[in-house]
Structure 1
């Protein structure tokens, strides 16, 4: 009897190992997901440190040449202008799909509608993102990290020649790893793929495990390069009184309305930019140079309205602004976010959206405290809830928003008001007919691609008629 128990245990382990290794496809996918997580975390860490390094080099140049009577903001204009123009040029010239956050491109690739040219996108997104974000533009690094991670996933898929279904799983795993590393938030990275990419993600036990493993490994790598602290250092709030939950629901309703109009303004801004440059490279680069000049000056004169806004969140939540200042900053940062993200610069809108949510949430809390001083004692708690509220209304991924804020701020006791705020925001946005921003951006991208393809076909037909269609054109068409 004593011998039988160890034999059963040993046979069980042996059977597990045999099943694990005989299912070669599943086992390979699991190990590739671990590898992708390591690479995605490493790329995100390098991207993060690169942004800091580029920003410091820019400031060093500004202070070096601004030691005399020339104002620092005047020195910053040409430096930031050149940086942004370079970012716009390499994006338009080598990989136009690297513009913007890149998340719609990944969702399109998971549906088989968009190509993943990782050989071009990885270097262009990395360098373009460093220059655009380093110039002072109001962009986030999270979208680029997601696109970089997903392209790493496709790179590994191509190298190991995995099947179509497995390649999609590894693409999603890379995206999860990129977001998890960027925010130091593994749960949010996992949930973003499962919730936001639910219509594209091919659910199975193996693909889900791949996403989990990649997010965990990417976070570990990021923490090795940085630290294990939360991304944002804010006040740690205790459980709010239950009778204040109604205020959080009203805050969510407000974000539901704001989110709809914010998404509309993003699309309208992109259309305005497109009507200006019409796809012409040097017009596009000129816009980049102009924006670089503006944000170069703002980064010195008014840094609160430039950059991603992550550094602004603790100051807002800490009560450093009055109600008038919060409203003004919210409006100006909305404008600078639209100006930056709508241009097609290689940068994301995650962090700027979180900053805007914090600003409006704090404004709501300050006003609520003034009206109901006996009920509301900590207006900063509404700033934390606001981070998730605007994200839920615009991206339409409430669970991701809740987890993201909790992991970013380590405010685990704020989970109930976050749920109420994000639920209210999502309900109102859905009732009023709002649609997720990344879905709308993907549809716009596909529409523009179809229009460009039709125009190219028309141009070739006209060249054939006029006799300008050469042998070289025929060879290009076949390739």
Structure 2
């Protein structure tokens, strides 16, 4: 076997590549989102026509060429960590899935999909590390599951510009009930991917920074109530996504039988919402949330609800795109709405609601806490953030029994016998969340 230090150095090179690709992918996705906003402001009717046209085209590309690239990307990585079979890994983390996520995600964001880039970045990172595991010398030292967990977490670290958030995501979400071999080397790989993003993009937070503070002693009832409500909102939000991809539900059955018509219908719903509520329906909600946090700009009272419906509709269409950053935007919008009801300071409740909704959906309170903590310039919110993330997670479990990503991973239907023995997947098959078998 080749020198151990040389093999680990190669893993580090792959992690640097994950960071570089994450930065490039972020630029592509952000440019696509900005282009859509400009198109809506200058040629609104053209922008409204794009979702019903682009969604079925994107889904066709997923089902015929870029197998495994539909949906968020995190469930695909989780599915393979649970069952690291060669054919399954080829389908969900192979070159076609990798290229599909890289190319189609900005395509649908440019069309107005309420989708983020963080989930797709996880699949891209996991796919790169899975490819590294194909080299015999690397495979002797690192098992495939550990490489995929490290690659996905490196994607989070680079996407959110937070190496610590990537580490937490590795243990809480991707590595749940699993162990990694040569942990220290793989953890360093996750950190390196995040450092690449820090070097290339500077020390910035995805949603900006806030010096918001809250009096924990005086506002404890408001904070407790917010924790309960965000757990309910996050649980219902995750439950609605799960219902729409389940073939046992009425809408899920329509989605299975008529995938392209359903995708076009989702595009129509999204366009009608944009016609009524404006451009804030499109995209992940990044610009609106950042402006409200940093510049104290007002959000529509219905922003959280319209963004939640738009995200669920975009996700149900089956096109590539994540729900991570839209979930944070939903939380920010709900916190803004709740602040208006309680006459409390807006910014701290936005941050607390962000961690609450994200924790409720992912059941990863520590990861949610770390990601939101990166946006805070003081330590007064540390205890409230921890409190809300813990309470909302427990409340959500009454509605959403597990992390939405693990539940969605269970919805990915791939026959292991077929995965191992089939010489070549049929053009109409897909192992993304759009699998109809």
TM-score by length of 2: 0.84
Total equivalences in the alignment: 410
Deviation (angstroms), 1:395: 0.5
Indicate if the aligned counterparts of 2:365 and 2:389 stay in contact, CA closer than 8 A.
yes
- Correspondence 1:121 to 2:97: yes
Match of 1:398 in 2: 365
Match of 2:77 in 1: 106
Indicate if the aligned counterparts of 1:361 and 1:386 stay in contact, CA closer than 8 A.
yes
Indicate if the aligned counterparts of 1:81 and 1:135 stay in contact, CA closer than 8 A.
no
Match of 1:30 in 2: 8
Distance 1:238 1:252 in 2: 17
Equivalent residue in structure 1 for 2:303, among 326, 329, 341: 329
Distance 1:245 1:399 in 2: 21
- Correspondence 1:227 to 2:202: yes
The 1:452–1:260 alpha-carbon spacing in structure 2 relative to 1, beyond 3 Å, is: farther
The 1:365–1:236 alpha-carbon spacing in structure 2 relative to 1, beyond 3 Å, is: same
Deviation (angstroms), 1:350: 0.4
- Correspondence 1:86 to 2:63: no
Deviation (angstroms), 1:137: 0.7
Deviation string, structure 1 residues 57-116 (Cα, Å, up to 9, x no partner): 6677778xx7xxxxx222224445444333222111123421111111111111225622
Q: Secondary structure at 2:284's aligned position in 1?
A: coil
Equivalent residue in structure 2 for 1:252, among 205, 208, 227: 227
Indicate if the aligned counterparts of 2:120 and 2:321 stay in contact, CA closer than 8 A.
yes
Q: Secondary structure at 2:218's aligned position in 1?
A: helix
Distance 1:172 1:105 in 2: 12
Deviation string, structure 1 residues 122-172 (Cα, Å, up to 9, x no partner): 111111111112211101100000000000001111135533753222211
Deviation (angstroms), 1:55: 4.4
Equivalent residue in structure 1 for 2:322, among 348, 363, 380: 348
Deviation (angstroms), 1:213: 1.8
- Correspondence 1:175 to 2:152: yes
Indicate if the aligned counterparts of 1:29 and 1:166 stay in contact, CA closer than 8 A.
no
Deviation (angstroms), 1:356: 0.8
Deviation string, structure 1 residues 249-282 (Cα, Å, up to 9, x no partner): 2211112222222221111122355422426xxx
Deviation (angstroms), 1:39: 0.9
Distance 1:408 1:451 in 2: 43
Indicate if the aligned counterparts of 2:166 and 2:190 stay in contact, CA closer than 8 A.
yes
The 1:418–1:288 alpha-carbon spacing in structure 2 relative to 1, beyond 3 Å, is: same
Distance 2:162 2:379 in 1: 13
Q: Which runs of 5+ in 2 are unaligned?
A: 423-437
Indicate if the aligned counterparts of 1:180 and 1:188 stay in contact, CA closer than 8 A.
yes
Indicate if the aligned counterparts of 1:74 and 1:297 stay in contact, CA closer than 8 A.
no
Distance 1:257 1:248 in 2: 14
The 1:256–1:58 alpha-carbon spacing in structure 2 relative to 1, beyond 3 Å, is: closer
Q: Which runs of 5+ in 1 are unaligned?
A: 1-21, 67-71, 370-375, 458-479
The 1:229–1:103 alpha-carbon spacing in structure 2 relative to 1, beyond 3 Å, is: same
Q: Secondary structure at 2:352's aligned position in 1?
A: helix
Distance 1:231 1:409 in 2: 12
Q: Which has the higher contact order (CA 8 A, sep 6+)?
A: 2
Equivalent residue in structure 2 for 1:162, among 130, 138, 142: 138
Match of 1:449 in 2: 414
Q: Which structure is higher in helix share?
A: 1
Match of 2:338 in 1: 364
Match of 1:148 in 2: 124
Distance 1:57 1:319 in 2: 24
Indicate if the aligned counterparts of 1:105 and 1:442 stay in contact, CA closer than 8 A.
yes
The 1:228–1:160 alpha-carbon spacing in structure 2 relative to 1, beyond 3 Å, is: farther
Distance 1:431 1:296 in 2: 33
Q: Secondary structure at 1:269's aligned position in 2?
A: helix
Match of 1:475 in 2: none
Distance 1:304 1:395 in 2: 24
Distance 1:452 1:313 in 2: 46
